[in-house]
Amino acid sequence: MGMYRSKAVIFSIIIVGLTMIGCQQSLGKQHIIASIPEASGIGYCSNSDTLVVANDEGYFYEIGTNGTIMYKHNIGKYDLEGVVCEDNNFIFALESGGLIKVDRLSQSKQYIHIEGLGKFGKKRGIEGIAKMGDKYILSLQTLSKKDAKLFVVEIDDNKAKVIDEIYHEIEDSSGLEMKNGILYIVSDTKNRLYLYSMAEKKILSTLKLSEFNQEGIAIDNSDNIYFADDKGYILKYRIDELGIN
* Per-residue model confidence as pLDDT tens digits over 193-213: 999 999 999 999 999 998 888
* Separation of alpha carbons 92 and 199, rounded Å: 25
Q: From CA 168, how far away is CA 165, in angstroms rounded?
A: 10
Pairs from 66-75 (Cβ < 8 Å, separation ≥ 24)? 66/33, 67/33, 67/34, 67/234, 67/236, 68/34, 69/34, 69/36, 73/107, 75/100, 75/102, 75/107, 75/109
Question: Over the stretch 173-182, which tens digit does the pLDDT of each residue have?
Answer: 999 999 999 9
pLDDT above 70: percentage of residues in the chain: 87
pLDDT of residue 11: 36
pLDDT for residue 186 is more than 90: yes
Domain spans of the chain? Answer: 33-242
Contact 81, 126 (CB under 8 A): yes
Contact 133, 166 (CB under 8 A): no
Query: DSSP strand E in 116-191: where?
Result: 125-132, 135-141, 149-156, 159-167, 173-179, 182-187
Overall average pLDDT of the 82-102 stretch? 96
CA atoms within 13 A on the CB side of 194: 21
At residue 244, the pLDDT reads: 87
The pLDDT value recorded for residue 121 is 66
| Mean pLDDT along residues 34-43 | 96
CA distances from 153 to 11, 76, 234 (A): 57, 24, 27
Continuous segment of H or E residues that includes residue 194: strand 192-197
Per the model's pLDDT, the better-predicted residue between 122 and 225 turns out to be 225
CATH homologous superfamily of 33-242 equals YVTN repeat-like/Quinoprotein amine dehydrogenase (2.130.10.10)
- Pairwise CA distance, residues 97 & 170, whole Å: 19
